[in-house]
A and B are shown apart, each in its own frame.
Chain A
Amino acid sequence: MKKRTVFGVLVLMLVLVQAGIAADKEDIQKYFNDTACKVKATTDPIQKREILNKSLQTMSVALARVERSGLIAQEDRAVIDNFKATLQEKQDELSGSNGYERVTDAQLNDFSDYVVQDMEQAGRYISISLIAALLIVIILVLL
């Protein structure tokens, strides 16, 4: 009985690790999709803007911590730097800074879709490694 239990736990751990690795990149997409859903769920533009800003800021912080962790490969750094830069541009556009026109209250729902869809293009097969994706998701959970 004990051998069966140990064997079963080992198998379950291997399956969960496999499933976990496959899901990490999708978790990052789901994070932004959840943001878009929360934005659309409220009618108050001030709240919409705050949800978007906080979501972008939290992801930026997670990326910065992953970079500082020293656990990611060099080739991931350039990709993460680009990712951080695009997030910063979206924050700038949301607030109307750094040469951007401020996203109007009426556009906030569409802007939340834009953030989601920008991640979901048919050109992003080259992306961050599984290790980096896993670290980002872990830090997002902890923040």
Chain B
Amino acid sequence: MPSSINRFSTSITRPCLIQFNRIGRAILVLFLFSCSTIPLTQRETHPGGESAFPPRYSLIFIIHGDGNYRYHDTGGKGHEADAEALKGAIRVAQQNLQAEVFIFHQIPRKHTLLFFPRRDGKFYYYRYGQMLAKESYRRHGSSRFDPEMELYHRFRAGEPTQQMKFFLYFGHEIPELGGEGYDASYPHRMFTVHDLADGLQQITPDSSKFDLIVLSTCFNGTPYTVAALAPYTRILVASPDNLHLSYFNLHPFEQLDVGLRDGDVAGFAKNFARQAFDRLTDDIQTAVTVSVYDMDRVPRYVQSVASVYQHALAALKDQKRGSFEHCDCAEDSAYVLPGMSEGVDVFYRPPRFGRSKHKLTHSGWECLRLLK
């Protein structure tokens, strides 16, 4: 090749090669950071949080944020429901000086430079009101809550059997079948009530129960969900009907020493449900329903309607999206059985508009039916 052409081609390619080398090294470094498996978390730890006594209360918050959680208040201002729930959980953690609090915030998976996946979970650990750890983690494992459970077992203090234990979940309705698409970042991943139950079992492998579980979701006050969670808790608070994305107010949890001074968890749960109901009915025009289920008293009814509900689920399994709807179980005679209201306290206000505005009561149980 003539030397002039050599010199010309070299003068063009050499700066490009240098540039690509620099870019290539930068990409390699970013690749190694984002894909490294050891460690899976980025960690900040803080000193302090010591006491002569183990924490009296243990609270676990799982806040799902990998989806559309946008809502607007009556002033027109937009909010992200998961960010608001996180603020509430952190306030609870800071105010309870006798508690250890685990907060898991499941966020959308983003990418660095469009190709390198970033961590999609944030973990906060508080003990005696102080934040002791803040970590980012990756939300994948052989079962849904493996990463969260690994962090929980690594950080927990005190003997679980001697603590009052609370579990709170914030997110969209947890499906009872199917469950694909619950996580916007993982459209083929499935999440159902049974995955939640499996996670709860990992927290309480010794068969001890939570004192209270709160599901701040829509439509999870059903015989099926209650049956699935009954082995893991004494009391459940859930919304059988729609729940606005502003969720349940956490204020009663900010002072557990006050709210639980006589150890009455059932009374605390009813007070929590009442306050959540009162706050929602102030501004919300859609239906507001909050139910408290005593898991010692509801099994008889739940078992009596189990096969009917299972048949309904099986019938709906192959139906298209939008072909079925939720309804009050009291509107279907198959579910109106003795003991339906036993062990259930219901706080209900109908929607201010729409066809249901004249529906004055709610059974506290939600069912499914095919649309006509």
Contact B352 A120 (CB under 8 A): no
Interface residues of A in 61-116 (CB under 8 A from B): 74-75, 78-79, 81-82, 89-90, 93, 103, 107, 110-111, 113-114, 116
17 contacts between A and B (CB under 8 A): A30-B72, A33-B72, A36-B72, A40-B76, A78-B321, A93-B353, A107-B352, A107-B353, A110-B352, A110-B353, A114-B353, A117-B71, A120-B245, A121-B218, A121-B244, A122-B216, A122-B218
Q: Which residue of A lies closest to B319 (CB)?
A: A78
Q: Give the residues in chain B near A30, CB-CB below 8 Å.
A: 72, 78
Does B21 sit within 8 A of A, measured CB to CB? no
Rounded to whole Å, the gap between the CB of A138 and the closest CB of chain B is 19
Main secondary structure of the interface of B (DSSP, over half): loop
Report which residue of B182, B245, B371 has the largest number of chain A beta carbons within 10 angstroms of its beta carbon.
B245
Q: Give the residues in chain A near B352, CB-CB below 8 Å.
A: 107, 110, 114
Rounded to whole Å, the gap between the CB of B203 and the closest CB of chain A is 23
Does A8 sit within 8 A of B, measured CB to CB? no
Give the distance in Å from the alpha carbon of A111 to the alpha carbon of B357 in the complex. 12
Rounded to whole Å, the gap between the CB of A82 and the closest CB of chain B is 5
Give the distance in Å from the alpha carbon of A107 to the alpha carbon of B108 in the complex. 38
Rounded to whole Å, the gap between the CB of B173 and the closest CB of chain A is 4
Does B121 sit within 8 A of A, measured CB to CB? no
Q: Give the residues in chain B near A120, CB-CB below 8 Å.
A: 70-72, 244-245
Does A29 sit within 8 A of B, measured CB to CB? yes
Contact B243 A123 (CB under 8 A): yes
Residue-wise interface mask of B (59-83) relative to A, using a CB-CB cutoff of 8 A (1 in contact, 0 not): 0000000011011101010100100
Known contacts A33-B76, A89-B355, A125-B172: A117-B68 contact under CB 8 Å? no
Contact B285 A122 (CB under 8 A): no
Q: Give the residues in chain B near A103, CB-CB below 8 Å.
A: 353
Q: Which residue of B lies closest to A101 (CB)?
A: B357
The 8 A-B pairs at the shortest CB distance, nearest first, are namely: A123-B218, A78-B322, A114-B285, A125-B172, A120-B71, A123-B173, A79-B322, A33-B72
Does A124 sit within 8 A of B, measured CB to CB? yes
Does A44 sit within 8 A of B, measured CB to CB? no
Q: Which residue of A lies closest to B171 (CB)?
A: A122
Contact A26 B70 (CB under 8 A): yes
Q: Which residue of B lies closest to A3 (CB)?
A: B16
Give the distance in Å from the alpha carbon of A99 to the alpha carbon of B321 in the complex. 28
Please give the number of chain A residues whose Cβ is less than 8 angstroms from any Cβ of chain B in the complex: 40
Q: Give the residues in chain B near A36, CB-CB below 8 Å.
A: 72, 76
Does A126 sit within 8 A of B, measured CB to CB? yes
Contact A122 B243 (CB under 8 A): yes
Give the distance in Å from the alpha carbon of A66 to the alpha carbon of B79 in the complex. 29
Known contacts A93-B353, A110-B285: A122-B173 contact under CB 8 Å? yes
Contact B217 A123 (CB under 8 A): yes
Does B268 sit within 8 A of A, measured CB to CB? no
Does B102 sit within 8 A of A, measured CB to CB? no
Q: Which of A18, A26, A113 contacts B74 (CB 8 A)?
A: A113
Known contacts A14-B114, A114-B352: A123-B321 contact under CB 8 Å? no
Q: Which of A15, A114, A122, A126 contacts B321 (CB 8 A)?
A: A126
Give the distance in Å from the alpha carbon of A11 to the alpha carbon of B76 in the complex. 33
Q: Give the residues in chain A near B354, CB-CB below 8 Å.
A: 89, 93, 114, 118
Rounded to whole Å, the gap between the CB of A108 and the closest CB of chain B is 11
Give the distance in Å from the alpha carbon of A26 to the alpha carbon of B108 in the complex. 15
Rounded to whole Å, the gap between the CB of B185 and the closest CB of chain A is 10
